Structure 1
Amino acid sequence: MRLTVLGCRQGMPADGQPSSSYLVETGSARLLLDCGPGAATALSSVAHPSDLDAIIISHLHADHCYDLLTVGKTLLSGRLRDPKRFPTLRDAARHEWPPIPLYVPKGGRSKLDTLASVFPVPHFPVLDRSFDVAFDVHEYEPADTFTVGDNAISMHRMNHSLLNCGTRLESPEGSFAFTGDTAYTPDLVTLARDVDLFLSEATLEEPDVTAHGHLCAAEAGDAAAAAEVGQLVLTHFITADETWLKARKADAERSFRGPVHLAAPGRTFDIRPGGGTR
């Protein structure tokens, strides 16, 4: 199992860094977790969207899902431009191909349809059909489970201003959990219990006292320690400043004694049972 960080920035892209997006690869599947602004460009450097077996969106804030439209249009336009497969636009529109499963929180489909409708392509209407042709949209609820390849995936409600579910993935090659966005909650420990790698937001310097719902690095370290994970990767940063990032790493290390890493675009982690990574 391998994790590739495509984007790790909180909110909108900055300093050349895309927003939240992560590629998880196993021997049987490629999964994209979140797809914030800039993710489509970053993904194109390591894989084509058609290589994905599923996309899972933690919640529907723009910095976690906005590039879904770009990825969808890439899937559609790529097929339209293949003259061997589709000599004419009519052939492309009539042709049926397996859409990529897209998992979004309950109520998400209507929001995505609205997003697609804002940018119509009148002369190529098939390009407006990302969310009914390029993707097979599934709306999940907390505690839902599903399988992609040989990966068992479960969704865990977290504590955020919108419905946000952390993703837990278990396969013969290793186990992994990702928080999405959340304030501290005991459910973090359930999400991450005994996983080989825990990818956790670490947005703040101090615990969140608002109703928005974000973690600080110290809380990510607390959750990792309580869940007894193998490795901790911090992400969802407000800055690329090295001094600030090193301070957040030190915050997490005060409670979690295992390896702590800082996410960065393009950084990869090989995940193995027992916590092995690089």
Structure 2
Amino acid sequence: MRLLPLGRLAGMPADGQASSGYLVETGSARILLDAGPGTAVQLSRHLDDGLDAVFVSHLHTDHVLDVLPIGKMLLRRGERLPLFVPAGARAVLDRYAALFPVVTHPDLDRAFDLAFEVIEYRPGEVHHVGAATLRTALLRHAAPNCGIRVEAGGRSLVYTGDTGVTPALPELARGADVLLAECTLRETDTSGHGHLSSRDAAEAARDAGAGALVLTHFAGPDPAEHEWHRRRAAEVFAGPVTIATVDQREVL
């Protein structure tokens, strides 16, 4: 199993860096986790290697905005694949596509029919893509957000999407080889919106007994700030702590 980040920022792109999007490559499937703005451009460099599914953790723009351009990219290639979205999202996606009609080529308005098989999932469900198993769990965020556990070939990766501190996260990540965790904040969220600090992410990895921690969803593009988060997480979690690096594969 390998992880290839396409973007790693919270909110909108900055300094040429995209928002959240991560390719997970197993022996039998390539799965895109989230599709924030800027990830479609990054993904276009890797589509020749194939794509088997897209999973969206929640309906905030920095995690889902590029799903429409990705669908149109797939239309051009004549491909159709599963798009896993939270329950109720299909109607939102249809309204999104309808905002940009192409009256002379109406098929271009049907990405969510022709390029994707839209599958609305609910927390706790299990799905399969190739030989990979996808397990979801409801975490804590302002919009309904599911973390996902991808298991294949005896390896496992857990991705948080966006979440505040919740016992559901270490439960989902129990014994995972890698926890790919957001760390938007310097301190624990007290607003109720639902984000992690690097210390919160490290505590979740420690409590889950995860093998390694990869930090992402940074509030800005400054490498010094990213390194600050890495060092702080390493004070809590004894395993390897790394920063998600765009277009750099990490073997799990």
Please state which band the TM-score falls in when normalised by the shorter chain. over 0.9
Q: Taking every aligned residue pair, what percent have the same amino acid on both sides?
A: 47
Q: Does 1:64 align with 2:45?
A: no
Partner residue of 1:33?
33
Q: Does 1:171 align with 2:152?
A: yes
Contact 2:212 2:240 in 1 (8 A): yes
d(CA) in 2 for partners of 1:78, 1:45: 14
Q: Does 1:47 align with 2:37?
A: no
d(CA) in 2 for partners of 1:242, 1:62: 23
1:248-274 deviation per Cα after TM superposition (whole angstroms, max 9, x unaligned): 111111110000001121121101xxx
> Which of these residues, 160, 175, 181, is aligned with residue 200 of structure 1?
181
> Which of these residues, 255, 258, 266, is aligned with residue 236 of structure 2?
255
Q: Does 1:105 align with 2:105?
A: no
Structure 2, gaps ≥5 residues long: none
Contact 1:26 1:173 in 2 (8 A): no
d(CA) in 2 for partners of 1:55, 1:247: 31
d(CA) in 2 for partners of 1:243, 1:33: 26
Q: Which amino acid aligns with 2:11?
A: G
d(CA) in 1 for partners of 2:93, 2:135: 23
1:109-133 deviation per Cα after TM superposition (whole angstroms, max 9, x unaligned): 0000000000011100000001111
1:90-123 deviation per Cα after TM superposition (whole angstroms, max 9, x unaligned): xxxxxxxx62100000110000000000001110
d(CA) in 1 for partners of 2:225, 2:125: 37
Contact 2:90 2:118 in 1 (8 A): yes
> For 1:59-98, what aligned pairs fall within 5 Å after superposition?
59-79=58-78
Task: Please provide the CA RMSD for this pair.
Answer: 1.2
1:201-260 deviation per Cα after TM superposition (whole angstroms, max 9, x unaligned): 000000011121100000000000000111100000012222211111111111100000
SS of match in other structure, 1:232: strand
> For 1:109-120, what aligned pairs fall within 5 Å after superposition?
109-120=90-101
State the aligned residue count. 252
Q: Does 1:129 align with 2:128?
A: no
d(CA) in 2 for partners of 1:5, 1:26: 14
d(CA) in 1 for partners of 2:232, 2:125: 33
d(CA) in 2 for partners of 1:243, 1:131: 40
Q: Which amino acid aligns with 2:225?
A: W
d(CA) in 2 for partners of 1:159, 1:34: 17
Q: Find runs of 4+ consecutive structure 1 residues off by over 4 angstroms.
A: none
SS of match in other structure, 2:47: coil
Contact 1:196 1:229 in 2 (8 A): yes
Q: Quote how far apart the aligned CAs of 1:171 are.
A: 1.1
Q: Which amino acid aligns with 2:230?
A: K
Contact 1:102 1:136 in 2 (8 A): yes
> For 1:191-230, what aligned pairs fall within 5 Å after superposition?
191-230=172-211
d(CA) in 1 for partners of 2:43, 2:133: 23
Q: Which amino acid aligns with 2:98?
A: S
Partner residue of 2:129?
148
d(CA) in 2 for partners of 1:154, 1:71: 23
Q: Quote how far apart the aligned CAs of 1:173 are.
A: 4.5
SS of match in other structure, 2:59: coil
TM-score, normalised via structure 1 length: 0.88
Partner residue of 2:21?
21
Contact 1:156 1:165 in 2 (8 A): yes
Q: Which amino acid aligns with 1:168?
A: R
Q: Which amino acid aligns with 2:234?
A: E
Structure 1, gaps ≥5 residues long: 80-97, 272-278
TM-score, normalised via structure 2 length: 0.97
Larger Rg: 1
d(CA) in 2 for partners of 1:116, 1:122: 13
